[in-house]
Structure 1
Amino acid sequence: MWIGLLASAQVLVPSQIEVIDPARKEWALGVVTAAGALAAVISAPLVGILSDRTQWRFGKRRSWIVGGSALCVAALLALPMQSSIVGVALCWILVHGGVGGIHAVVCAVVADRVAVNRRGTVFGVVDLAQPVGLVAGTLLVSNLPVEAAYPLVAVLVGLFALPYALVGRDVPGAARDTGRWLPDLAALGPDFAWAWTGRFAAQLATSLATIYLLYFLRDEIRMDDPVQGVAVLSLLFTAGIVVAGLLAGRLSDRLQRRKPFVITAALLMAVALSGMALISNWTVAVIAAAVLGAGYGAYLAVDQALVTQLLRNGGDRGKDLGTMNMAGSGAVVLAPVIAVGSVGHGGYTLLFMLAAGMAVLSGLLIQPIKSVS
């Protein structure tokens, strides 16, 4: 799932858009990115709700993971055939919408099957799929034309979905039907609302930092091979996520504390983003990528565990975690709008400073949560 989404988002879609409309590449990329993220905002809670209520013998969660993967494969295969921004946007809506649904269901699987005192560790492992998918996908496509790269990642999405399709199993239980289909933050309580807004701010920070990474390396740092630069920074970002995510998740399980880890991770992200804002050179970018990855990895692992402890009704896990995932997708919708204006008025310095501010805010918003320490 992450190979298909992130390799395309970091390299393939920006490169394709630059060929289609080089004069308005930033604007066009922002529109396409926002459209895809909006699809994920809708699909995450919708697929979560449907998985809660599904009674097919194939599996209430597994059915939607397989279906979402098939949708992503079809859309990725169609992308290289597009010669207009509208065509790219329509395909990207299907890719990102499919990923939004899959991610909501995967989070629900963990909440279904893992005890509370092990969720930090397990989410630390599960969340490794995102950075590994980013790095593996970016390295695979960095030297390929889009005509060959899109089919490659599409095949990998389908191939790696097969193990879960064949052997994945769901926790037995009756399908849930409360009659409530719309996300309801008020019903989930103020702690869930604080966690939702914190997740939104954290994802907005990382989205602002990465949406124009290819263009930043090409236009600001003036790298001869910005695609290769994206691959290197992605590798360092991943290394930070892997190490910090596993360590923070496991330590938070042992201490049974969540909030201090999430707040510290947010501040670590802010330090990295501030460095990129103040000094625009390759050395700082390399260091910042590793530090940002460490902060983001720790945030992902522990915040996911924290959120599962806020759920009030186990039968609505798919819907509630889909609602939480709307925060991340919603931030991705807003990020291009902010990024276009920031780069246009204050350059990349303003863009990264705004990202740093969002990272600090994401930590502050976790502090009022009372039901989880």
Structure 2
Amino acid sequence: MTADALPTAQTSAAAIPQKAVSQGWLWTFGLAWLGFWLLVMLPGQFMLVRLASALDPAEKIGVGSFLIAEMAIVIVVSVPVIGWLCDRSSPRFGRRRTWALAGFVTATVPFALVGLQPSWQPAAALLAIVAVGQSAALVSLSAMIADQVPPAQRGRASAAVGVPQVIALAGGMIIVTELVTDLGWSWAVIAVLALLAPLPFLLCHREPAAHARPAADARAAAATDPAASAAARPGIRSIARTYHDLGWAGISRVLVNAGNLVGTTYLLYFLSDSLGLANPESALTALILVYLVASGLGSWAGGALSDRLRSRRFFVAASAGLQVAAALTLALVPTWTASIAAAVLLGVGYGVFLSVDQALLTDVLPDETTRARDLGIVNSAQHLPIAALMGWLVLSVAGYTELYIIAAVVMALGGIAVYRIRSVR
């Protein structure tokens, strides 16, 4: 039996969209993700650190760390809950569109007010609400790929998720550092752009009606029929088989993301402490630009090629391999020239991973009635602070060479884990 003929979880338990989505759908879908990434990437990379410095200069490190950790914890907790609610709602506007629009409004309104706060405590309260809105937008937009995009287009749809992340970070940094430098106005401007970006997609593209929920029907029958009740209760082995591929896809995603975050989070310290550069901040900016351009190209090419070749696992494993090579380059050849080469490898690898991994994850969803919940659980695991814990533990007893070698091992394990998936190529 060929890999193409293997029965997938999706074909056995969930309806597969057959109608191709239009180019207009893909472009506006990417625009919606641009709005989401503006709310996520800029605070994590720059805006929260700048806010903490302005509100409490003496305790800026502690305040900034608290704000970042607070948002991560809220996302980890709220994403599975919102995913569960999204799967079970049936508003006339469309369950995914309704939750996405509500999420963007919930996130952008308090986001616009964060920069105006006199102290970090009210800012923290607003950012907790922002994180709830981010969670709603994340789970609903992610589920739309499984709901509406046929497998032959999922690589390109996933590229529409990955490429805007690069554009949001690069373009957003220019906005908040060069065009709108006032603290209060910078938060407000990003909030307005983030709210406007998804409107063409959410208002112009109707959502297909949700399919009937066989799981709910089975539970209703079980309530009146003891025999049906026994049959409807899945055993542990049955659940393990059903979620086998999704579990391994989630493990692969968590490991590759954790290793990549180690490579990017501690790069400034690597440039100053290991390479001893006179101006590490400028060097970091140059490397980030190289990384972002390479990531954008990798995301676009990876999504298109994985659709054309009908292959997912190979591209995820190859993307992990490129990032392993980048980490080993930083570990074994600690020079400025090698750092540029590592930025290219890391960027291309992560760009391919961004597009193809999302398509792979969508392909192995086991049940159409729980898509948002299942994606929410995987996305929550992705926000666990594994990279920060890894960096703290390793750098407490060793150096950057050991840190990047361990990061390479973690990403290699993520690339290997993808071959535990049996239902897709």
Which position in structure 2 is the counterpart of 1:304?
A: 358
Which position in structure 2 is the counterpart of 1:151?
A: 188
Aligned partner (choices 40, 49, 52) of residue 84 of structure 2? 49
What is the deviation of 1:62?
A: 0.8
Verify the 8 A CA contact 2:252 2:418 in the aligned structure 1.
Answer: yes
Aligned partner (choices 296, 315, 318) of residue 372 of structure 2? 318
Counterpart Cα distance in 2 of 1:218 and 1:91: 34
Which position in structure 2 is the counterpart of 1:370?
A: 422
Q: Say if 2:37 is the partner of 1:2.
A: yes
Aligned partner (choices 273, 277, 295) of residue 349 of structure 2? 295
Which shifted more, 348-357 or 196-205? Answer: 348-357
Give aligned-pair identity as a percent: 31
Counterpart Cα distance in 1 of 2:377 and 2:151: 20
Which position in structure 2 is the counterpart of 1:266?
A: 320
Verify the 8 A CA contact 1:134 1:234 in the aligned structure 2.
Answer: no
What is the deviation of 1:260?
A: 1.3
Aligned partner (choices 218, 239, 242) of residue 293 of structure 2? 239
Counterpart Cα distance in 1 of 2:290 and 2:62: 28
Counterpart Cα distance in 1 of 2:254 and 2:267: 20
Output the TM-score relative to the length of structure 2.
0.76
Which shifted more, 28-37 or 312-321? Answer: 28-37
C-alpha spacing 1:86/1:269, structure 2 compared with 1 (3 Å)? farther
Which position in structure 1 is the counterpart of 2:153?
A: 118
What is the deviation of 1:323?
A: 2.1
- Which stretches in structure 1 are left out of the alignment for 5+ residues? none
1:1-373 alignment runs, 5 A limit: 1-20=36-55, 26=61, 28-82=63-117, 84=119, 86-143=121-178, 144-174=181-211, 176=213, 178=215, 186=240, 188-213=242-267, 224=279, 226=281, 231-278=285-332, 282-330=336-384, 333-346=385-398, 348-373=400-425
What is the deviation of 1:137?
A: 1.0
The alignment partner of 2:257 has SS state of helix
C-alpha spacing 1:161/1:108, structure 2 compared with 1 (3 Å)? same
The alignment partner of 1:356 has SS state of helix
Counterpart Cα distance in 1 of 2:64 and 2:374: 30
Amino acid at match of 1:357: V
Verify the 8 A CA contact 1:34 1:336 in the aligned structure 2.
Answer: no
C-alpha spacing 1:36/1:334, structure 2 compared with 1 (3 Å)? farther
What is the deviation of 1:37?
A: 1.6
What is the deviation of 1:363?
A: 0.6
- Which stretches in structure 2 are left out of the alignment for 5+ residues? 1-35, 220-235
What is the deviation of 1:219?
A: 6.6
The alignment partner of 1:367 has SS state of helix
Counterpart Cα distance in 2 of 1:91 and 1:176: 36
Alpha-carbon deviations, 1:183-206, whole Å to 9, x = none?
A: x97474222111111111112122
Verify the 8 A CA contact 2:318 2:415 in the aligned structure 1.
Answer: yes
Alpha-carbon deviations, 1:151-205, whole Å to 9, x = none?
A: 221111112122223213211235758469xxx9747422211111111111212
Counterpart Cα distance in 2 of 1:340 and 1:171: 47
C-alpha spacing 1:14/1:323, structure 2 compared with 1 (3 Å)? same
Counterpart Cα distance in 2 of 1:65 and 1:190: 29
The alignment partner of 2:383 has SS state of helix
C-alpha spacing 1:272/1:75, structure 2 compared with 1 (3 Å)? farther
Output the TM-score relative to the length of structure 1.
0.86
C-alpha spacing 1:347/1:85, structure 2 compared with 1 (3 Å)? farther
Verify the 8 A CA contact 2:86 2:140 in the aligned structure 1.
Answer: yes
What is the deviation of 1:296?
A: 0.8
Verify the 8 A CA contact 2:312 2:424 in the aligned structure 1.
Answer: yes
Amino acid at match of 1:170: E
Verify the 8 A CA contact 1:33 1:336 in the aligned structure 2.
Answer: no
Q: Which has the larger radius of gyration?
A: 2
Alpha-carbon deviations, 1:11-57, whole Å to 9, x = none?
A: 11122334555666555544432321222222322222222222212
Verify the 8 A CA contact 1:203 1:328 in the aligned structure 2.
Answer: yes
Counterpart Cα distance in 1 of 2:122 and 2:404: 30
What is the deviation of 1:269?
A: 0.9
Amino acid at match of 2:188: P
The alignment partner of 2:420 has SS state of coil
Verify the 8 A CA contact 1:205 1:355 in the aligned structure 2.
Answer: yes
Which shifted more, 185-194 or 310-319? Answer: 185-194
C-alpha spacing 1:137/1:347, structure 2 compared with 1 (3 Å)? farther
Counterpart Cα distance in 2 of 1:187 and 1:21: 51
What is the deviation of 1:139?
A: 1.9
